[in-house]
Structure formats: structure tokens, C-alpha cells
A and B are shown apart, each in its own frame.
Chain A
Amino acid sequence: MTTIENHDYDILIIGAGGAGLRAAIEAKQQGLRVGIITKSLLGKAHTVMAEGGMAAAMGNVHSEDNWMVHFRDTMRGGKYLNNFRMAELHAKEAPQRVLELEQWGALFDRTKDGKILQRDFGGHRFARLAHVGDRTGLELIRTLQQKVVSMDIDVHMECKVLKLLKDSEGNIAGAVAYWRQNGEFVTFSAKSVILATGGAGKSWKFTSNSWEGTGDGHAMALWAGSELMDMEAIQFHPTGMVWPLSVRGLLVTEGVRGDGGVLRNSLGERFMFNYVAPMFRAETAETEEEADKWYDDHSAGRRPPELLPRDEVSRAINAEVKAGRGSPHGGVFLDIGSRRSAEFIRRRLPSMYHQFMELAGVDITREPMEIGPTCHYIMGGVKVDAETAATKTPGLFAAGEVAAGLHGANRLGGNSLSDLIVFGKRAGEGAVSYISAGGGSGKFKQSDVDDAITEALEPFDRAEGENPYDIQRDLQDMMQANVGIIRTGDELEFALGELEKLSDRVRQIKVKGGRAYNPGWNLATDLPSMITVSKCVAMGALNRKESRGGHTRNDFPGPVAEMGTVNFTETSKDGKWDGAFNIEAMPIPTITPELKALLEEAK
């Protein structure tokens, strides 16, 4: 193999969303040589799609709020599968991370006395989400992007990583990739690598994820010897668009409900009152009247049931549709137009207004929206150390959606953006400490590079074969049907069999055209990650014989106490995308008495 282009860094960061950029800022501030890789252009990562806000117990709207309440809400939302230490650090550090963004130019909406305004969201006891209208993710990514640019950090755009590289001692040493623009290969040598690759929702048919959400980081970490955890925990966001078909799955912010929107079935009933699980009854309103008082004064009534955590709301919508009380296109109605003034809606929810007006021809200030659950977020991911974001592979760190632990079995809305900045910073610090302590050589094995390149080029060499788009479509249909919002053991077994067949087909892909900016080839190189992650999700779902959070089993409809004491972790036996994976039940770490008391108090 001829010599290929190489870039050398102390820390290589894969992914340029909120977590990756925040990690880069931290590492660069501490004086290290940092490079960022992104599959897209800078500023286009999935963070930009986040709408409602970022959760931080600043107490600007309700002074009673504090980190302890936020911690408790996060743990309850996650059905106690969360890593308690991550939930604690997140709740404690989020306010400072949000304030710091303002030094870098972020402009949040304000309270009357000039502080950062906070909005209500599902599962959060108090109004807690710092936001800018319904485009908070854009504000976060632009702020971090502009900070990164001003610090002169290298950003390698439209670069797809194929595989992580290790040195002869098993430490992370870099990555092999190719430039989408010309198809040429490139290596990155680094003492440490931070994964900030986001989610994996592209393997489902109805999803809010873009083409980038193929689980590359999840898969590469597994192949490199790290553990994945809680992979069965997938969040189906209750409110995705359902019509037109072409935009099915597109997200409708939870902010619509936080700002007064309610869910109705085809009979016009606010059906959520019928779906309040015992653990939330004490704090949820029993009548529409009580719920409606709450929006203006949280002490005048209890919370509307529309603001239960997302897993609860998604299951309720699913049940209504199944019972024949759905909307014409198979969802339910989300109504804010009859409840708030047009002026209020356009000011608070400008993107939603335009999205429905332009794509569906629906004026949300006058008509209800048709919505239904959409694959949105993966709580599971790479198992990391709470303090440092370190994975099991020396020198490899992970932060943001690719990491597991903070959200347990279900993530609360608004906890994702704060996750990015809290653990992005911690991953940056973790990698710096690892290097300061003498870790990492950056000397990868050339044979690993050669193997990855050979494999990536095989689809060009075949005389004939499968179109990668056909395989992707079949994968998405199969996962939607068998590993979707409601699961059964039989279907999961079936899914694992289908994934083997899909793997065979991936090995027979034929790519048309050249290497320069070829989406077909790009997809062919994404499919191995998608298969690996889909398999891990199906295996996790098969082993968790209960229903908890984002994971619902028709054959095990309720939670099972013993299952609530374990996380399922998965490892690769041979480091191959189509190889064999192990799964193991690992006891959840014992929570400290102080934190346990906070949870008891709340019960």
C-alpha cells in the first residue's frame, strides 16, 4: 500500500456536534493539539435539530429548583437504570456549563429581570430548560462552533472514519478514514480519541435522525474492545409528524406541550388522563381543569399528564391508535391552536409554525397537528467512567449520545443538550489527564489501516451485487417492524435471524461510480455500523425480559424488580462488524446513601 496522508494530534475528536466541540474547547484550552473530524460540514451535526432547550437547575423561574430535584427527576425518568454518579454530576454542573455559553456569545431568551428564561418540559418538576424559541440546538452548536473557530482548532469536514486504530499494547492510537469529497484515504495518529458521534436512529424507518445517525461510534468502540450498555433503551419521541408520508418521523418539539399543547384522540378526548402510571399519580393532575391551572401557577394544580416522560406518552399514543381512536393518517392530534393565541405560538414556536405551514400546509395556530411516535434517541451506548468519560479501551473516551449511563432506560427532554456540554467538557479533561499521565503512543499498526482500506474498496471490485440503498431500506423496515416501540421475544429472535441475512447482503454490495462524493459508497461504508448496532439493540431487548422506559415487551408488560438491578453490557468476540457479540447482566453500582435519600424523599 502506498503512503497515505496522515495528521498527528494529541487528541482526535470524532464528531462535531455539541459534545465533540465542547470536548475540543476543553482540550485546546489546556494546551493540547486537537483535531476534530465530522462526516458533514461544521455546524450541521444533529445537535442543530434539538428544539426545546437544555435542562439546568438554575432556578431562574422557580427558585425552589436545585440540582437535587434535577437529579431525582433524571433518575425517575430513567426508571433507575441510570448511572447515579453521572446523573449527579450532570445535575450539579449543567447550570455552570449553560452560563459559560453566554461568554461565548449565546443569547438565550430572558426572564423579566434579565436572567436566562426556563421552560417546562416532560418529567421535569420545575421549568428548567434554557432555550431560544424552539431552536436551542442551533444556538448551542453555533456558539460552540464559533468558539472553536476563534480558537483555531483544526476541523476536518466531510471525513468518514472507518475504524479506530490501536498500538501494539492495545491503546488507542488513531483512526483511518476517507475524505468524502475525493474518496482518498487518510489516517489520524493520536494519543487519545474522543468519540462524540451521536446516535443510531437511522436504522429505523420512521426516525427523526439524519443520514448521519448510523451508530458509527457505538460500533467502532465495540470493535475496538469497549463495552456497550443498555442498548435496548431506545427513545421513541411521542410527537413526530405523520403526514405527509415523506416527512413522517420529523420531530415536533415537546415545547408545544410545555407551552400548553394537549393530545386528543379522534373523539376529541384528552386521553393522557387515562394513562398515568402509579409512580407519577401523586404529582399529576386528575382533571383538565386542574391541569390547565398549572401552566400559569405551578402551585395551583398538578402537572398535566401530557408532560409525563416521553416513554409514557409514546406508549399511550400507540395504545390509542391501536384501539381505533387515531387520526386519519395513523397518529393522534396535538392541539395548541385552540389553547393559545396565534401571536404566542408564532413567538414561542416559530420553527414548528413554519415546518407545518410549509411541509404539511397546516396552520398550527388554527388547526391541530397530526403526530405519532418516532425513533429519536438511544439511551444505550458506550459504557464510560462517570468522572472522566473513559471507556474500557485505554485512551478512548466517549461523550454525548454515543455514551451510556446518564439517561438510564429513558431520557428526559432537555437532558440531552446539557449532557453534551457537561460530559463533553469532562471527556476533554479526561483525555488531557490520560495524556499527562503518559498514556498513548499514537503508533498504530499499518496492517490495520491496510485491512480497513481493502474492506472499504471491495464493493467497487465486485462484478455485480446488491444496491446498498435496497439493503438500508430493508434493514429499516425490519427494525421498525420487529425492534420498534412494542417488542416481543419471537419478533426479536426473528430480527436477529434477519440481521444475519442482511449481513450476507452487505458482503455482496456493488457500488456504482467512482470514489469522489459517492453517496452509494458512503452508505456502503455506514452499513456495517448499522448492522452491528441493530444487532446489539435486538440482543439487549431479547435479554431484558420486562418493560422499562424506552423498552417495552408485549410478552413482559410490566417492570420486573430483579431486572431493575442490572445493566446489560455487550462486547465483541472478534472485533468484526458481522462477528459474534457477548451479552452479560452487570449489577448496577450501589447508590450512595445521600443520593438514595433524595430518591426516597421524592417517593
Chain B
Amino acid sequence: MSEITMRVWRGDANGGDFENYTTERSDGEVVLDVIHRIQATEAPDLACRWNCKAGKCGSCAVEVNGKPRLMCMTRIDTLPEGPVTLTPMKTFPIIRDLVTDVSFNYVQAKKVPALLPPPMPAEGYRMFQEDVERSQEFRKCIECFMCQDVCHVIRDHEENKENYAGPRFFIRHAELEMHPLDTNDRRDFVREEAGLGMCNITKCCTEVCPEHIKITDNAIIPLKERVVDAHYDPVAWLGRKILRKTKTSATDAAVQPAP
């Protein structure tokens, strides 16, 4: 059995510092195993979030050696030799140690206009696999918020948070926009309220996604194209003005009672 040193940021909103913990390690362990051992022995008050320990719930995201990772899916033997540095996600305010205040994401979730489907036939809706697959990709999201953490629009600019939904919610908007049952037109909302224009497609979000969702290519870029079509193509604009029968506008969508 060998040893491992973890350099863990400890503190709260008033400040803090790194503390080193050296502990034994065994084969196949992940970062979260070592944190649990530290909690069980030296530091029972070391704060971190976790739930499933299987990469399914997205609770245990922190920055491992400066990069956002799920602690439960990061094997120690895949990291470079030497101490492992753990810090809380930078984009969100600190609560304590490795735990951050991710309420920004829950505020953004509230702003999303709900799905507005047509009435359900008695025997249920008919949808085809090829039509549901696009949105299914986005529904794999486990809400670890690592894409939000790494997005420099909000990571480096606190002032943008007010008007920017971030990659997690761009895929949510894309999911609904491409949902076979949705009758809302979300394009105005995405442009005006969600700040899609601020994203300059550096793909940082796609790189960190533990579910390997192609956030930039499959959600953000298609959304940007739909917004462009809607607003800068005069024929499409006119068509929309005359024939806005199939889709409800974003403003109406927000107040439509969902079933």
C-alpha cells in the first residue's frame, strides 16, 4: 500500500488556505475514496458534496489540479505523481471547503419556459426513435454544473451571471426546442433572456462534460443557427409574423399553463 498527499482548500466565504493530508491508498481508488478516508480519520468536518458515487448524480464536482472533475469518477492512478490539489468550483460562491453555492443554476432553471405539448391522445403520444434521440442526448445531463464552472463568460465575469444561462441551460433550451412535442418558440427567449450571443463557442464546456454531451456542436451551434434564421432572414421573419400558428412565442410560452 502506498501513500497519497491531498492538498485540500479549506475555508469559507471569509477566506481560507490549503491543508495537506497524507493518507494510505489502495488499488483502483478514486479521489472521493481518499476524501472519505480523510473525513473518517483526520478531518470529520471536511465539507464536500457527494451522493451516488457512480457518476450518475453529479454532486461531487470540484476542481482537481485546477480542472473540474467528478471526484467519484477520477481514479488516483490516472493523475500525475505527487500531491493532488482540490479546490471548490471557482465560478460559484464558496459555502465551505469544497462546497459551493450553486443556486445560480436553480435560478436559471426557473426561467425556462415549460414544455408545451399538444393534448395527449388516450393511448399516449407517438414519437419515433430518430426524433427523440436529439433531445435524449441533452437529457443525459447529470447537472454537475462543471460546464457552468468552466465557462469563461461567467467564470471570469460575475456581472454576466444576471443575463446568461450558461451551457447547462443552453442544452436544456436545445432539448426543448428539438423536443418532438414542444409547441413553444424559444428563439426570442434564448437570444434575449438566456444570453446565447455571449457564448463564443470555445468548447470548454464540451471538453469537461462527464456524459460526453456534444454541448457546443449539437446544442449551442444549432440554437445559434435557429436564432439567426428567425431574426435576420427577412423571409423567415415575415413567415413567422403571418403564420405563427404552430409555435407559441416565448412571451406567451412563459405564461401558458402546462398540462
Chain A positions within 8 Å of B, measured between CB atoms, are 40-46, 48-49, 58, 99-100, 102-105, 107-110, 113-116, 132, 135, 137-139, 142, 146-147, 149-150, 152, 157, 181, 210-212, 243-247, 250-251, 351, 354-355, 358-361, 467-470, 473, 511-514, 516-521, 523
Contacts and interface: CB of A to CB of B under 8 A. Distances in A.
A184 B141 CA distance: 32
Contacts of B226: none
Contacts of B117: 102-103
Contacts of A41: 49, 59, 102
B45 A102 contact: no
Q: How large is the interface on B (under 10, 10 to 19, 20 to 34, 35 or more residues)?
A: 35 or more
B214 to A, nearest CB: 14
Interface in B54-83: 54-59, 73, 75
A361 B78 CA distance: 11
Nearest to B76: A246
Contacts of B84: none
Interface string B30-71: 100100000111011111111111111111000000000000
Contacts of B142: 48, 138
Given A244-B27, A468-B44, A99 B120 contact: yes
Interface in B99-138: 99, 101-102, 106, 109-110, 112, 114-115, 117, 120, 124-129, 132, 135-136
Contact of A114 (B45, B112, B126): B126
Contacts of B12: 516
A116 B124 contact: yes
B221 interface: no
A519 B114 contact: no
22 contacts: A99-B124, A100-B120, A107-B127, A107-B132, A108-B132, A110-B127, A110-B129, A115-B124, A138-B142, A142-B139, A146-B114, A149-B106, A150-B112, A247-B53, A351-B55, A351-B56, A359-B28, A361-B28, A519-B44, A519-B45, A520-B44, A520-B45
B28 A469 contact: no
Given A99-B124, A467-B44, A520-B39, A210 B139 contact: no
A137 B136 CA distance: 14
B29 interface: yes
A354 B213 CA distance: 14
B45 A518 contact: yes
A246 B139 contact: no
B56 A49 contact: yes
B207 interface: no
Contacts of A42: 106
A513 B97 CA distance: 13
A517 B97 contact: yes
Contacts of B126: 113-115
A150 B56 contact: no
Given A49-B57, A351-B55, 8 more contacts: A114-B126, A149-B110, A149-B112, A181-B95, A246-B28, A246-B30, A511-B45, A519-B47
B44 A511 contact: yes
B186 interface: no
B198 to A, nearest CB: 24
Contacts of B4: none
A79 to B, nearest CB: 30
Given A44-B51, A211-B51, A246 B29 contact: yes
A107 B132 CA distance: 7
B258 A150 contact: yes
B13 to A, nearest CB: 10
Contacts of B132: 107-110
B57 A48 contact: yes
Contacts of A516: 12, 47, 95-96
A48 B52 contact: yes
B259 interface: yes
Contacts of B120: 99-100, 102-103
B26 interface: yes
B179 interface: yes
Contacts of A359: 28, 30, 73, 75
Contacts of B114: 105, 146-147, 150
A468 B39 CA distance: 10
Contacts of A512: 43-45
B244 interface: no
Nearest to A100: B120
B6 to A, nearest CB: 15
Contacts of A514: 45
A102 B28 contact: no
A246 B75 CA distance: 10
A40 B59 contact: yes
Nearest to A116: B124
Contact of A519 (B46, B101, B179): B46
B230 interface: no
A104 B115 contact: yes
Contact of A517 (B33, B41, B47, B129): B47
Interface string B135-149: 110011111000000
Contacts of A138: 56, 139-140, 142
A142 B139 CA distance: 8
B181 interface: yes
Given A40-B59, A103-B117, A360-B28, A517 B52 contact: no
B128 A521 contact: no
Nearest to A521: B45
A127 to B, nearest CB: 16
B58 to A, nearest CB: 7
B164 to A, nearest CB: 19
Given A102-B125, A114-B128, A49 B54 contact: yes
Contacts of B44: 467-469, 511-513, 518-520, 523
Given A102-B181, A512-B45, A516-B12, A49 B26 contact: no
B110 A358 contact: no
Interface string B81-98: 000000000000001110
B125 A355 contact: no
Contacts of B49: 40-41
Contacts of A105: 114-115, 176, 179, 181
Contacts of A137: 56
A574 to B, nearest CB: 30
